[in-house]
Every structure is written in structure tokens, then in C-alpha cells.
Chain A
Amino acid sequence: MPNSDTMTTQSAPDSLRRYFWTVGLTALAVLIATVTTNYVVDPYLIHQWDTKLVQRLSPAQQKIMPWAKTYAVYRYRPEVVYLGSSRTEIGLPTDAQLFAGKRVFNLAVKGGSFGDAVNMLRHTTVFHRPEIVVWGLDYGNQFKEENGNSDFIPALVAKGPSYPIWRTLLNIKRSASMDMTEESLKVLSGFSEQKCRSQLATYGHKSSQCLEHIMRDEGGTAKAFDKVMQKNKPSGNPLDVQATLQLLDRVTDDYCRQGTIFRLYLQPVHALAELSYWATHQEDLDNWKRSLVTVIDARRRQGCDIRLVDFSGFNRITSEEIPQSTGHENMQYYWEHSHYRSEVGQIMLEQLFRKDRLEVAGDFGVELTGETIEQHLSDFRKKRSEYITRHPRETSNMTP
């Protein structure tokens, strides 16, 4: 009869070996199956361009767009790029007649900071230097060098020709994730919220179709304005304006020397948002605009084709009456207080690239230079006071 102690010591290594194999193989099998599924289904379109999946309907709020956009431009190599935050992403259409025949891509991302825009520009330049850059600038805490969109990780920015290999590895790593697995399962089971064309299908621009769904889900335009009218919601001054301005100086200098055309603009948020966000630090905002003008004027003196236009303030577009006043459900120019429609973006693009001012735009868009800035700032304050006087009910809770 075998001794039980002897049996235990002899069988232990075998059982442990089998245990290690079981743990390892189980984990490996699950991981390989998951990564393969996610990579093939690619619910976030992180490695798609010129494929059928780009035309697949997507959820209205598409996730991790920096991943999709950085991959897409690596393949597409645009000649015209738009940079900025969600305002630019939603507002500037890529099918503008102005750029007919050119490869245009909207590289703006939700929550994108100034630093994010610079990184996007550098990324796309690794594959093809853009001829034209249209850049929406946001005052407040988005005017910073640091990352603004948390999904736009540094690893996504191309450093050199090895990017395709690096990017493939990165895509595989991203595919090993729970959130992507959930989305893949939704796509495969038909439970994915397929509501509108993907942003890649519209060359990075967030389509009106998607925005309509989002606005419906969030309660509509009037509800958004209700919130902004309740009280001031200061966006906060930029933390390190000088460092960010120096970055702007360096980037425009680098690209101008290579012949890139720049069109920079200040975002036309609705007049009520302008009051809510920045009225409490108007002086800082004015100084920021002066500093921008200093940089842009210096570039222009070097012979660079660069312009800075201020679409913000209290003009015909930004002062559009809100649903609470008109009784209409929607507005002509705005989705809500912070985001303008493509129709406005279309006007802005034409304004940015044409020398003669558009009749329809009226006072919308003032070019800022050393000569115009002080008059503009003075007009800005005057129009702000007039707006407040004309809209006592809407601005009653705001303290400019």
C-alpha cells in the first residue's frame, strides 16, 4: 500500500505544473479571443480608413475620437486641417466649396486644449505638411499647453517613419480593454446605438445628424440655455498664458517658414455664454487678445500668410434670439450656447479666406491687427452693454 506522504510529495509538482498551464492558457485564450474580436470589429474605428467600417452607423457620441482621427490622418494625409475644440469639431464643415478639390480634415477634438491642437498638427505633419491650417482658439482653461482631451495620449502622436508599426502595437494594446469589448459585443449583438454617420465618414466633422440625436438626449436647446442663464459659470483664466503664447509663436514661426497658411479665429460662442464664461474677467480676456495680435503681427511682418479673426462677442450671429424668446424649438445658428452650427462655420470659413466682407455676415468677424485691436475692444464692451440692456430677462442672473 503506498505511503500517503510519498504520494503527496510525488504528485504535488505534477498538479502544480498542470495548474500553471491551466492558469496561463486560460488567460491567454481569453485575451487572444478578446483582442482579436475587438481588433476585427473595431467599434471605435481606431484603425480604419478607406474601409467599409468607416461608413457604418455609429453612436451619436463617438468615443476616443483622437485615436480614430490620428489614424485617419496618417492614411489620408490632408492638405487642409482644422484644429481646436469641440466647437471647431462641430462647427467647421469639411465639405466647404472653398476647399473643393483639396483633402480637408477636421482634427479638432472634444475638450481639446491648445496643446492638443499643436500635437495634432505635428502628428499630421509627419506624413504630410498641411498647406492650410484653420485654428479655432478658445480662451479660458483650454488655452494651455497641457493635454485637454484625456483620450489624446502622447503615444498617439507620430514621431517618425516607424509610426505604422508602433500604431499597430498600440491598437492591439487598446483592443485589450473591457470598454472596447463591451462595445464590440453591442455591435455584434445589434444592441449598439447606431444613430448617425461616423465622424470619419465626414472627415472628422461631427455631423448635424449626430448633433440632433445628442440634443434630443440632453433635453434640447432651451434647456441648455436655461442652465447658462441661471448664473455665471466662469471658465477661468488660462493658467500659464505666456508659455502657451510662446508655443503659438514657435509653432506659427516653424510652419510659416515652410509656407503654411494660417487662419486663426476666436470661437463665436453665443452672447449669453460669452457673458457667463468671461464677463467677470474681461480685462484678462482683452489682454489675451492683445497678446495674440502681437504674435500674429510679428508673423505677418515676416511675410507669413496669417490672419486672426474675432467672431466672438455680440454680433448678428452670436446675439441670435434664444428659444425662450422666440418660442421655437431650435435656433438657426446654434445647437446650444457653446456650439455653433455648420452654417455659421461655413460663413466663418468664407470670411477667413475672402478679402471682401460678406453682406450676410454683417458685423460677424473682425480681423484683429495692431491697428484694429483697440477699437475692436472698445466696440466689444459697448456692444456688450447694449446687449445686456436689450436682454434684461436673459441676463438678470449674470453679474458682468
Chain B
Amino acid sequence: MVFNSYSFIFIFLPIVVSGFYFLARKNNQWAIAWLILASLCFYGLWDYRYLPILLSSISINYLACKWILANNQAKHSWRLTVSISFNLILLGFFKYVNFFIVSINDVSGNNLPLLNILLPVGISYFTFTQIAVLVDAYHGKIQAIKFTQYCLFASYFPYIVAGPILRHQELLPQFADTKRYRISAENFAIGISIFVFGLGKKLLIADTLGSTMWPLLAADNPKFLHAWLGMLAYTLRLYFDFSGYSDMAIGVSRVFGFKIPINFNSPYKATSVSDFWQRWHISLSQFLKNYLYISLGGNRKGQLVRYRNLMLTMLLGGLWHGANWTFVIWGGLHGLYLCMQHGWKTLQKNRKQKPSAASAVASRVLTFVAVMVAWVFFRAPDMASAFAVLAGMAGGNGISMITSLDVQAYGILIVSAVIAFWLPNTNELFLSDENKETKSVSSVSLFRGDWSPNLRWGLAVGLIFALCVLSIDQAKGFIYAQF
């Protein structure tokens, strides 16, 4: 089941919300059980064959967590190693085994047969979420954990398919807080409004960009203007697609009274690549930083080791997205960008001069172009396609005027660019009081205006919702759900 469907919006969500608050009046545990059941249904409706994998993963990880917590004073690191290995083997088997077979075949010239494996949707997300719990349990950040709460944490339907990747301390205390099980009109209003904005991002912007701009990169060897404009459209589409999903997840969860942290904060307003990673898929960035980069030593062992750690973290981060060398190259490019940025910073350390406004604009443009070039690999199904687009961007495929786009295509491109570059994001509009730090991180906006439950916002949200309902039958899948 997907958020952008009639069945979710008009059947699943109303039933689950009603059931949750009805049961919460009797007993919070029943409400949690109801949400677990709803989450399993939501997940199983993608494909019921995924359910045993999810349930096995949750059960074994819960037992592993208890195992690590038992007599934790002794710090049995091997218990953590075994538990994490289980998760990595599970992920590796379902997601990467065919990738390795293909790679071995390519290198050795063998023709080893591929395995007929079903890739469970969201496996990368629920695996990483649970690895974080295991690590935190080992470090003593968890004292005890109830099975029902753990089960809901690992399977919670708003984020199981495409994140955000949550840490236990961000959600488990909320499950334990009895006050959250009371109906709150404010949570409903904010939750529904954020959900509608996310739905609008997905259906009205991302999907329209996808359906109108695809001819630009349809050719095997796109020309100069086609390649640049096509990649610009893809860059914007990806943002609206994924951040739309995250907004919907945040909004839905808020209706139940549980707050999920933000996952995007106007990433294309970033002034450096490290700034970009503090704004794009924030939960994954934090996971990689906390559980990989820092574990590798971070920046504590000198510059060279720091660069190595950055590269390793980003390469693995790339591989996390998919079993394809294009994702590895994409991650590697970002690792390289980060190394270059830190190297540049070191060189500039002694300069006292404050950056001018012009240099800030230049940094922003440069960061955006670098990110866009890296998306070429992220988007491409194979390396040859990626190099064909890069060749087009470099002018290697010639230049010709674009004749395949209509007014609507240019219109949606301009609108989406204005929103991404110059308008406040969902967090700034709806959650600025709760996420004060994000407001200061974000930058230029053409206007400022916090959401409040008034007539103007009511009309806007109602109109966007109606337009979304009218667009549902043309809805496309979420790009990030495949990871």
C-alpha cells in the first residue's frame, strides 16, 4: 500500500486512526497492538511474501537486543558482532547477492546463474533502524525494552517503506508516554496539513515533472541542453518525490500523536556539500555519521584517516541505496566532494576574511551543480547511460534546441525550482517552533509565514488536497521506496 492512493487516504488511514483512538481510551497497549497490526497490513499489502522476512527480522533482533542487554556490564562485543552480522547477512542476501554474482561474472568471465530472490520493500530501512538499536543497547543507551513497543518501532507503517531512519530514543519514549494517546485537535490539524503538503509535493510536482520532462533524457545520447535541463528536472523531481514521502510520513505519524524528526531541510539551498548532507535525507546522514564514520574513527586520527573515513562512509552509503556500481560511484563522488571541501577549508584556515555575499551565492551554485552531476550516476541504470548523459552535459553529443517540451513542462520546472530554491520548506512552515535549529540552518526565502489554523491556510490545504485527489489516478511509485 502506498500513501498516494485512494485506498490509503480514504479507507486505511481513517480506519486505523479511528481504531487507534477508540482502543487508546480503553488501554494504551491495545492501541499499540492495533498500530502493529495496521503496520503489518500496510507492509503486507505490498506483497504478503515480505511479511515473514519482516517478522523474522523483528523477532530475532528483539531477542538479540535482550541478549546484549543481559549482563551488559561485561560488554560482550561479540554478541553485538553476531547480531549485526545477522542483519548484514539478511540485507546482503536479499539485496546484494545478485549484484556480487554479476560482478564476479563480469570480472572472471564466468556465467554463474543469478538467484531468483524477492527483494523485500524497505529492507534497508528496517535493517538499519534495528542495527542502531543493537549498537545503542551495547553502549548502554537502552536499559530495557518492551516487545510490543519494539515491534511497533521496527514496523511502524509511516516510515517502514522509505524512512526516515529513526533512533530508538526518538520514538520509544513517545510510545511510553500515556499523554500521547489522547486525541489532540492540534496534532490532527498539523498532521493532516503536513500530509497534504507532502502529497502535493509528490503528486502535483514530482509526478508532473516525471511525466512532462522525461523526453529530455529519453535519447541514448542526449544533447547539451537536453542533458542539462533533463538533469535539472530529475534533481528537482527526486527532491519533491522523497521529501514529499517524508512529509507524508511525518504528517501521518503526527495524527497519532507521535512526532517523527524531519528528514529534509531545503537541501538545494546548501552552500557546501557537507551542508547538503545536513539537509538531505538527514536521518540516513546521521546514521552513517553516528554508526559508521565515528566508529571508523571520524576525524580523530588525523586528516588522511579522516579522508579515508569520509570516502568509506560515502561509498557504503552509496551502496546502501542499491546494488549497482552507479550508486557506488555516486557515493564515491560525494566522498570526493567532501574530501575536497575539507581540504579547501584547511587551506583557507588562516584567512580571516569573511565570505562575501557573492561568494555565498557562488558556493550555493557550485554545490548545486556538483550535487546535480552526481545525480547523473544515481539516476542511470548502468555506467554507460551515466557516461552518455555526462558526455551530453559536456557538449560531446552536440547541441540542438529543445522542441519536445510544452508550456506545462516549462511551467512546472520553474514552479518547482522557485519552491526548492526560494520558498520556505515544510518544516519552516509547520514545525518551526519544534525545530528551531532548522530554521536558522535554512537560508534565503522569498517569504516567511508560519502555519496557523486560519482561513487562508485552510483554503490552501483544502485546495491542494482536492488537486491531489484529482491526480491520484496518474500517481507514480516513490523513487526511494525501491531502496
Please list the residues of chain A having a beta carbon within 8 angstroms of any beta carbon in chain B: 12-13, 15-31, 34, 173-174, 176-179, 181
Contact = CB atoms under 8 A, between A and B. Distances in A.
A370 B473 CA distance: 48
A22 B458 contact: yes
A173 B466 CA distance: 13
Those 7 A-B pairs whose CB atoms lie nearest each other, nearest first: A26-B462, A22-B458, A19-B453, A30-B466, A16-B185, A23-B462, A27-B462
Given A26-B463, A174-B473, A16 B458 contact: no
Contacts of B457: 19
Interface in B397-441: none
Interface residues of B, number: 26
Interface of B is mostly: helix
Nearest to A175: B470
B474 A179 contact: yes
Interface string B434-463: 000000000000000000111101110111
B363 interface: no
Contacts of B219: none
Interface in B189-227: 189, 192-193, 196
A13 B185 contact: yes
A173 B471 CA distance: 11
A179 B208 CA distance: 11
Given A12-B186, A31-B470, A177-B474, A26 B459 contact: yes
A76 B164 CA distance: 54
Contacts of B471: 177-178
B229 interface: no
Interface string B341-358: 000000000000000000
Contacts, number: 77
B465 interface: yes
A105 B185 CA distance: 57
A30 B455 CA distance: 16
Contacts of A19: 189, 453-454, 457-458
Contacts of A22: 455, 458-459, 462
A26 B458 contact: yes
Contacts of B41: none
B479 interface: no
B461 A178 contact: no
5 contacts: A16-B186, A23-B192, A25-B462, A177-B470, A178-B467
Contact of A27 (B188, B455, B465, B474): B465
Contacts of B462: 22-27, 30
B430 to A, nearest CB: 13
A23 B186 contact: no
Nearest to B456: A22
A20 B470 contact: no
A15 B465 CA distance: 20
Interface SS of chain A? helix
A192 to B, nearest CB: 16
B160 to A, nearest CB: 27
Contacts of B461: 23, 26
A27 B185 contact: no
A15 B453 contact: yes
Nearest to B466: A30
Contact of A15 (B188, B196, B454, B469): B454
A169 B467 CA distance: 20
Given A24-B462, A25-B462, A173-B6, 8 more contacts: A18-B453, A23-B193, A23-B458, A30-B462, A177-B470, A177-B473, A178-B470, A181-B470
Contacts of A177: 470-471, 473-474
Contact of A34 (B6, B193, B470): B470
A86 to B, nearest CB: 22
A176 B463 contact: no
A219 to B, nearest CB: 13
Contacts of A23: 192-193, 196, 458, 461-462, 465
A20 B196 CA distance: 13
Given A177-B474, A178-B470, A30 B463 contact: yes
Contacts of A174: 473
B339 to A, nearest CB: 45
A31 B466 contact: yes
Most chain A C-beta atoms within 10 Å of own C-beta, residue among B188, B453, B469: B453
Nearest to B457: A19
A13 B466 CA distance: 24
A59 to B, nearest CB: 15
B415 to A, nearest CB: 15
A21 B189 CA distance: 11
B454 A27 contact: no
B228 to A, nearest CB: 28
Contacts of A12: 185-186
Given A16-B185, A19-B453, A23-B192, A31 B458 contact: no
A323 B463 CA distance: 54
Interface string B1-42: 000001000000000000000000000000000000000000
A12 to B, nearest CB: 7
A111 to B, nearest CB: 18
A61 to B, nearest CB: 15
B469 A31 contact: yes
Nearest to B196: A23
A180 to B, nearest CB: 9
A12 B454 CA distance: 11
Contacts of B185: 12-13, 16-17, 20
